[in-house]
Structure 1
Amino acid sequence: MFGISLFDLSWLIVALLGAGAVTGLLAGVFGVGGGAVAVPILYELFRFVGVPEEVRMPLCVGTSLAIIIPTSIRSFRAHQAKGAVDMTILRIWAVPVVVGVVMGSVIARYAPADLFKTVFVVVAGISAIRLLFGKDTWRFGTEMPGKPVMVVYGWIIGVLSALMGIGGGQLSNLFMTFYNRPIHQAVATSSGLGILISIPGAIGYIYAGWPHMADYPNVVALQPPLALGYISLVGFLLFIPTSAWMAPVGARLAHRLSKRKLEIAFGIFLLTVCLRFFVSLLS
């Protein structure tokens, strides 16, 4: 299929299924779509099967956005069942987030691979520092800002999420905790953003990657029926069963953790992702 041995292909399938389970679990625990886990894992797997560096990162991001669709839906429903989601915030963010995602998808059509990695490093690094070392005095305010500011924040979340292949959880968690919202509510509300970001984002990456499929005719992983634009269908299909299965488990676990334990776990997770792509930028 990919020009590799049956043993290596079997290993790849098992790795994708296992990565999907970890992605779904963390999606539920942290209220993220799982993209910050899926993207670096897919990056290594696509490197293994010979996807060129020039298109590897956008292929990871697009595939991640597709994977996030069912994971986010299940994670959001689990958090909503516990009454922890702030639907008022989601309604305000709905339109600007989608607009930002569309703009990010257009940028992805022309952006170099290092742009995706740089966005990952900056956002993950800031988020990790805030969660691991932040104090309660690190606030922008004690109440959420007015609608115009919220709209701008929503647009920024949409653009950056589309370039990172995430469901917006890191960004919205950071934003909401800076405005004195409890981490559990931030996590639960963030899970809803994954739906708003992943669906238009996946469609956008099909558009972004479509003309590049012809540029790499010998790269099987970029050709139909294994891929559509910058979405790997084989990666998508293998991630879905285990990631969707584990998302509700992670959501239940999140509500059993204390505020500080959830912050530390999320911070370490983001710092690991940040360091991984920083090293990649230097290589």
Structure 2
Amino acid sequence: MELIIYLLIGAIAGFAAGLFGVGGGLIIVPILYIVFTQLNYDPSVIMHMAVGTSLATIIVTSISSVTAHHKKGAVMWNVFRNLAPGLILGAFFGAGIADLMSGQGLQLVIGFFAVWVAYRMFRGSNTPVDPSRQLPSTGAQILAGGGIGIASAIFGIGGGSLTVPFLNRCGVVMQKAVATSAACGLPIAIAGALGFVWFGQQSEVSVPNTWGYVHLYAFIGISVMSFMTAKLGAKVAHILSPAMLKKCFSGLLTTVGLYFIYQGFSAYF
């Protein structure tokens, strides 16, 4: 029965990701939080498990996404190679930071991040691309990757909402920025998920069917179904108005963000 629940979550997350054109992290994390709560798992590790499991599922979806972008020749592999070391170290380190945070602390930072993403999406505020601008030095790109990796691991996302604006500011056109960001999501997801596995094992998580902070049944169910339904969501997206879709999703993210903010602050009152 539990696996069926995760298959349904994967179907919803994959469809929504394809429909709204975003990674599934900000969709998967809140749903898993609610499900884990209803299953009466240890409240102190529920948010950590939701984030860690989300990162694990992104490994599968990232492989599919980057393969499609690579076939179109849009991935800037030279930039990826410069960002990757920072992304890997940052994501693992970010998992360690998340491990030190309380569940309420994670709820607050993810909640505020979701509201910020919703605001940017509602405004349609893509960073203007100035072709005259150049990418920074290799060292600076590694540092940027580190920052993106840390934040992405804490939020349980593939980093697209952070990597794309960074590349845009460096003069990279949107198509290549999105494609390169998709490639960057893979090392973030792998390193971040392994980090949550490692730190979860040190914390001796007592929830059944887990590997560290990664719930194995949830990982399998969500990965399988999201991979299948993302394509369906993408097809439906071509039928509907992109502007309307973005505003609807920004409303959903705002609701999720405010819910997490409320949950996080309620523990202090």
Question: Please, what TM-score do these two structures have when normalized by structure 1?
Answer: 0.79
Please give the per-residue CA displacement for 1:63-98, whole angstroms capped at 9, x wherever unaligned. 111111111111221233233333333222111111
Q: After the TM superposition, which residues 1-283 of structure 1 pair with which residues of structure 2 at under 5 Å, given as runs?
A: 10=1, 12-28=2-18, 32-133=22-123, 135=125, 139=128, 143-147=133-137, 148-178=139-169, 181-213=172-204, 216=206, 222-223=207-208, 226-250=209-233, 264=247, 267-283=250-266
Give the Cα–Cα distance (whole angstroms) in 2 for the partners of residues 264 and 188 of structure 1: 23
Of residues 37-46 and 20-29 in structure 1, the stretch that sits farther from structure 2 once superposed is 20-29
Q: Is the 8 A contact 1:79 1:251 kept in 2?
A: no
Q: CA deviation at 1:235?
A: 1.0
Identity %: 35
Letter aligned with residue 217 of structure 2: V
- Once the 2 structures are TM-superposed, how far is the Cα of residue 191 of structure 1 from its aligned partner? 1.8
Gaps of 5+ in 1: 1-9, 217-221
Say if 1:74 and 1:248, in contact at 8 Å, map to a contact too. no
Structure 2 residue runs of 5 or longer lacking an equivalent are: none
- Alpha carbons of structure 1 residues 273 and 191: separation in structure 2 relative to 1, 3 Å: farther
CA RMSD of the aligned region, Å?
3.0
Alignment match, 1:5: none
- Using the TM superposition, give the Cα deviation of residue 181 of structure 1 relative to its aligned residue in structure 2, in angstroms: 4.8
Distance in 2, Cα, partners of 1:255 & 1:78: 17
The alpha-carbon distance between structure 1 residues 244 and 203, as it changes in their structure 2 partners (threshold 3 A), is same
Structure 2 Cα separation of the partners of residues 181 and 267 of structure 1: 25
Once residues 29 and 173 of structure 1 are traced to their aligned partners in structure 2, the CA distance between those partners, rounded to angstroms, is: 19
- In the alignment, the residues of structure 2 paired with residue 165 and residue 64 of structure 1 have an alpha-carbon distance, to the nearest angstrom, of 6
Whole-angstrom distance in 1 between the partners of 2:248 and 2:171: 19
Aligned pair count reads: 264
Q: 1:117 to 1:259 in 2, by over 3 A?
A: same
Distance 2:240 2:170 in 1: 21
Describe the shift of the 1:197–1:264 C-alpha distance in structure 2 as closer, same or farther (beyond 3 A): same
Q: 1:53 is paired with a residue of what secondary structure?
A: coil
C-alpha distance in 1 between matches for 2:37 and 2:105:
18
The change in CA–CA distance for 1:240 and 1:135 in structure 2 (over 3 A counts) is closer
8 Å contact from structure 1 (residues 13, 238) kept in 2: yes
Query: Distance between the aligned counterparts of 2:216 and 2:184, measured in 1?
Result: 23
Q: TM-score, normalised by structure 2?
A: 0.83
